[in-house]
Structure formats: structure tokens, C-alpha cells
Structure 1
Amino acid sequence: MVFSTFFAGAIIACQPENQQQKVVIYVSVDRTYAEPILTEFTAATGIDVLPVYDVEATKTTGLAQRLLREKERPQADVFWSGEFAQTLLLQGEGVLAPYEPPVAAALPPQYRDPEGYWTGMGGRARVLLINTDRLAIDEAPQSLTDLTSDQWPGSEMAIAYPFFGTTATHAAALYAVWGPEPARAFFTDLQRKNVQVVDGNSVVRDLVVDGQVSIGLTDTDDACNAVEKGAPVALVFPDQGPGEMGTFVLTGTVAVIADGPNPDQGQALVNFLVSPETEQRLMAVGGSQLPLYPGAAVSGCLAGQSIQGMAVGLDAIYGQLEPSKQDLSEIFIR
């Protein structure tokens, strides 16, 4: 991490010798994945990291609300989120400051804000997890729309509630790509088929692993966890054919907090987090599965695969998030 070390050295040279270098980061990425990376940053730069982690019960929302409450007297320098919806909310509320990490210029434009308010970091994809003891992989559905076919009864499929977490973000992406009416019809068809709707993606994974269902819609982190443990499962990336829309890829985000107490150190931490080296480190420990930098190697259970992502902007998804949640709450809560 030569660049980060150099940057930190420049910061330290401009500070009084007796002033302790520190940076405060609010983190909604699982601590298991984030903590080793933050420790590496301190080792590389000498800047102490003071992290505040979100809790699973509140997902990313808890820290976003905290940042909103602290807007007039910011306590954090950096926000590292495992998704992007709350980051765009904070951007709209004036909580974030523009900062464009030099290394991020190599990222595709959909993974960095055109005004510099956030940068993408790491990716997860939405996949169909198949229990291969119950369903041969060559007979599995290949498109999301296949799930509404009579070939697969609802009792054989599981999804997480589509108005929470990454499933809600995926639903908003479908609303953006297909349009609200076709997307609503898709989820209405799933509800009419009595698809099993459960409390989270890990529950979906466990139902597939245990053979209680044949097909589950989940994220690559949960799916790869099952593969790595030797479960009788396989991943299908939906809609990969010519002219098809591709699978939805969720990206994490990193942003600088406006008027944070340690702005230079915050920028140094952002530089470190969004670097290609940290992206590879995050994939190596299982914190993400897909690289955002063009040509970067895919590791872990997806090694060697070429995956077609859905071409949809984060702003378009964000614009459909609340309308889709309202629709899907009406469909799935009776």
C-alpha cells in the first residue's frame, strides 16, 4: 500500500509532533471482514482507526440515522457501507463531502459518484442457489422470470422478504429495469404461488442446504459460504444469455463525512479502502465476491467465472426503493 503510506506520511509531516493521528469510521460491513483491513491501514500508515460498527438488527440504517443526527456536529470522518441506498440518502441530506480518490478513476462510472460523494467498494451478486440433490443443475431455472413458471411450485422456492436488506435493493433494481408494473406482476406471481418468504438471505441459504427447498434467491456471500462448507449446492447466475439483463450486482460504498473531525486522515483511509489491493483483500476474506476494477481476478467460489451484471444506475435504483417497498409490503403482508 505504497500510496496510502506516502499519503499518511504527508499528513503526519504537517501535524504537530505530539498530535496523535486518528480517524473515526462508521462501518456497516461485518466486523469479521472490516476489522483486519482497518488493522492493516493502521500498520501501513500509523493512523489509529476508531471504528463504530453497526449491529445486524438495524443493518445499515442505524448508522445512517446516527450520521443524520450528528450532521451539525459530525463525529465520524468516513462511512463504509455494505450497500449504497443509505449512502445516497446521506448524500441527499448533505451529510457527505465530495472527495474523489485518485485510484478510483480506474473504476467504471457506475461505481463512483459523478460528483465524488461516494466510491464503490467490492461487489456481491444475486444468485439462485440450487440444492443439487433435489434438482439437477442443468434443469434449474436460468432466469428470474422462470421462477413464475408452473414448472417450479412455490413450495420448492424461498426468498427473503423483499422490503428489507439486499432483497429490497434487488427488487428496486427490477422496478428500475423492468418498470413498476412488470416488476409488481413478477412478485405478485411469486406470492400467488406461495413461495416461501423468510427473514433473511442466510435463512434462504439454510433452507436450500437442508433440502427443504430446491431453489433459493440469495446473495453470493451466503451462497459461497454453503459451497465452501461442502453443501450439495450450486450457483446459477440468472439472465446471462445474449441480450438478457444480467444479474444484479450490489456494491458497497465508502464516503467522506462533511466537516468530520479528521478530514485529511479520512481521505487517507478512503484512498486505502477503495484501492485494488484492498478490494482483493476483501474478496480473500469473503467480504465481497466480485471485483469492481476492470480486469481484476475473481477469487473464492466464483474464481474463473465471467459474470454479466445488470446495467442499471444506482440513482435509478434508489428512486424506486420506496415505491417498490410500499408495493411489496402490500403484496406480502396480509
Structure 2
Amino acid sequence: MRNTTLRMAALAAVAAFALTACSGNDGGTDRADEVAANCDNSGDPNTVTVYSGRTEKLVAPLLNSIGPDVLGAGVKIEALYDQKPVKVLEEGGKSPADVWFGQDAGELGALAANGYLSELPAQVLGAVPAQYADPGKRWVAITLRSRVLAYDPRQIPAADLPGGIDGLVDEKWRGKIGYAPTNASWKSFVTALRVLRGEDGARAWLQKFKAVEPVEFDKNSAVLDAVDQGRLTLGLINHYYWFMKAAAQGADNVTAKIHYFKGSEEPGALVNIAAAGVLTCSDNKEAAAKLVEFLLSARAQQYFADETGEYPVIANITSKHNLPTLTELSPPAIDLNQLSSVSETEAMLRDVGLLK
């Protein structure tokens, strides 16, 4: 009976999260007051607990390098990786989390809309261009990443690649395209598709995409591996997966290449963010804010630029990777808070049959 009750409570939390996430950041401040009134965090005030939607492989080397010069003497970091934002809502005011470090704008927007993120200090928000910080002051971008098309040059020359996502629904690609339907980056792409083309336009493209029988994978890295091994011709991923693979194996040992879609009206050219915010019920907001500020330091930004191949969000950081500039890509100018309607995206994907 107890297990059934817990499952029902979790389902109710997920439903509440989904409903409020649809509304973007509207009402987030009022909800933050409600959340703050019910905080009951009994964690260690000398520990900054990070819930990371990002993987341990990407983030741990940097977090593990942080010393007392950043957070203060006696303050340590405890990180939990591969987390989902709904966990915060399920835990409510008892959540031990101090910082959410997410891989997607939609995650941060949904948490802010539900009142689970507090305002960040001005020096943190002011470290990045305005378009990469929440107007409500509750999250800030840490890195940028572009959607790309991975391809096998043995099967298709670069000159014959489709110019945009509409070229991916051609019958000739039946069973030859990989994607990761449960990954946050795919869902953000579909949300951007909804923003740019409207509900009917997004649904029409998804139905055509499903008709060519794309191949499902759990992760972007698995999509890239399948293309690299010649098991697929094309794959939809984020750009940095290729650069990490090239760094690990040597670029000459990676067969797959990546193609950047371009254009202000092209959903496939979406540039999304990894972002961070301080939880409303954090029992160490000062140290938590210092951690977010550190993620925007030259040291941290250089790490992401070189080790993960992501775009930095502060000036004067040069990556060792040969990345096209964001000006060259000319991505869609989407308000990143609009990507918070993840639940509506998931509902559409299930209705179309692209998400279980």
C-alpha cells in the first residue's frame, strides 16, 4: 500500500510539473514565494549539492577540481548526475539540491515556472549577454550547443546533404536516420519546431519524419556511433558529441562528419543552452551562487570550450576546436523561455508515435 501511495504521489507531482511548465515563466515569482514558505531542507549547510541533468563524464572533471578558493573554506560539492528536473518537484521543500545544472533551456524554464529557482545575483546575470539570461533572473546560460546532422561520407557526399530538416523526410532516407527520442535536446528541437512553425506545422513535419521510419537510440552518442560505423547514413545530434569523439579517438579515426543547418527560420539550426540556477530551498544560497558564478569564469568556460567542444557564453574564450561562429550559423532567434513547454512537446510526440 505504501509503495502504491508513493507512486501516486510521484505521478501527481509529474502532472503538476507538466501543467505549470506549459505556461513558461509566468507566475514563477509567486510560486517561488509558495515554495519558500514550505522549505524544510535539513541538509548540510557546508555542502553545495548539485543536481546535474548533464552526465558525469561531461561535468565531473570540472566540479571535482573546485577548491576552497571558489566556495570558501570547509564547503564541499556533492553532485548527482543524469537527474531529471521533476525530481526537484517530487522532493518539494525537502530537496537537498542547492544548484540545478541542466542540459536544456526547457528544464530551467520549467523549474522557474514552478517556483523552484531563486533570483541570481546581479554579477552572475551580468556576466553573459542578455539573451542568455532569464529575464526573471532565475537562470543563466553556461554554454551553447548547436543541433547538427551527423552523416557518413562513404554513403553520401557533403554536396548531396539536405539543406534543412524538410529534406530529412524524403523517402530515400527510410530507415537511415538516427535520433534519440527521450533526450532533452531532441525534445527542445521539437519545441523549437512548434515555436517556429506552429502546432499544425510541427505535427505535419513529425508525421512525415515518422513515416520514413527513423531509428531510435537512447543517447546522442549512440546515434553518432551508428553513423560512424556505417550502420546509418544520417543522425540528429548536438555538435559537441562529434568534437568529444574526435578528441578521444583522434579526428582521423572518426569517419562520421557533421553538417550544420543554417538560417533564422530553420528549426534544425537551433542553438540551445546548458544553464544553471540556485534552488529556492537551498540552505547555502551564497555558496551555490558562487558555484554558478564559477561556471562562468574564464577557467570553467575554457574547460567547456576545449574538453566538451561547447560554445562559451563569455567573451575572449578561444576553443581548440574548429567551430563555426554563431554568426555564420545564423540560428533562429528564439526566446529560450519558450522552450519550457516540454510537456506539450511530449504530448505531441506521443500522439504522433515518436515517443512511448
TM-score scaled to structure 1, two decimals?
0.81
Tell me the SS of whatever aligns to 2:51: strand
CA deviations 1:25-79 (Å, max 9, x no partner) are 2222222332232233315334433223134xxxx31xx3332244324423222
Structure 2 residue 81 is the aligned partner of structure 1 residue 50: no
**Which stretch shows the higher mean deviation, 307-316 or 204-213?**
307-316
1:268–1:332: structure 2 CA closer, same or farther, 3 Å change rule? same
Counterpart position of 2:65: 40
1:237 counterpart letter in structure 2: Y
Q: 1:278 pairs with 283, 295, 300, which one?
A: 300
Corresponding residue of 1:171: 190
Pick closer, same or farther for the CA change 1:185–1:244 going to 2, 3 Å.
closer
- Looking at structure 2, the residues matched to 282 and 329 of structure 1 have their Cα atoms a distance apart, in angstroms, of 34
- CA distance in 1 between counterparts of 2:45 and 2:217 reads 47
User: Measured at CA, do residues 204 and 243 of structure 1 come closer, stay the same or move farther in structure 2, by a change above 3 Å?
Assistant: closer
The CA RMSD over aligned residues, in Å, is: 2.7
Give the structure 1 partner of residue 340 of structure 2.
318
- Provide the residue aligned with 2:199 in structure 1: 180
Of the candidates 101, 105, 113, which is equivalent to residue 126 of structure 2? 105
Q: Which moved more, 1:166-175 or 1:303-312?
A: 303-312
Structure 1 equivalent of residue 8 of structure 2? none
Secondary structure, aligned partner of 2:126: helix
Shift of 1:197: 3.0
Aligned mates of 1:244, 1:283 — CA distance in 2? 25
Q: Map of 1:255-274 to 2, 5 A cutoff?
A: 255-274=277-296
- After alignment, is 310-319 or 172-181 more displaced? 310-319
After superposition, residues 111-190 of structure 1 pair within 5 angstroms as 111-150=132-171, 152-161=172-181, 164-190=183-209
Alpha-carbon offset, residue 84 of structure 1? 2.7
Residue 203 of structure 1 is matched in structure 2 by 222
Partner Cα separation in structure 1 for residue 139 and residue 45 of structure 2:
27
Residue 257 of structure 2 aligns to a residue in which SS?
A: strand
For residues 26 and 222 of structure 1, the distance between their equivalents in structure 2, rounded to whole angstroms, comes to 22
TM-score when normalising by structure 2: 0.77
Q: Does 1:239 find its partner at 2:266?
A: no
- Secondary structure class of the residue paired with 2:189: helix
Match of 1:331 in 2: 352
CA distance in 1, matches of 2:109, 2:265: 30
Percent of pairs with identical residues = 19
Deviation (angstroms), 1:325: 1.5
Q: Which residues of structure 2 form unaligned runs of 5+?
A: 1-43
The counterpart of 1:308, out of the listed 330, 340, 343, is 330
Q: Could you tell me how far apart the structure 1 residues matched to 2:229 and 2:165 are?
A: 22
Show CA shifts across 1:213-236 (max 9, x none). Answer: 211111123222344432212111
Return closer, same or farther for 1:41/1:316 CA change in 2, 3 Å cut-off: same
CA shift, 1:116, in A, is 0.9
SS at match of 1:96: coil
Whole-Å separation in 2 of the counterparts to 1:20 and 1:92? 26
Residue of structure 2 equivalent to 1:68: 89
The residue type paired with residue 65 of structure 2 is E
Cα offset, 1:160, TM superposition: 2.1
2:98 is aligned with 1:77: yes
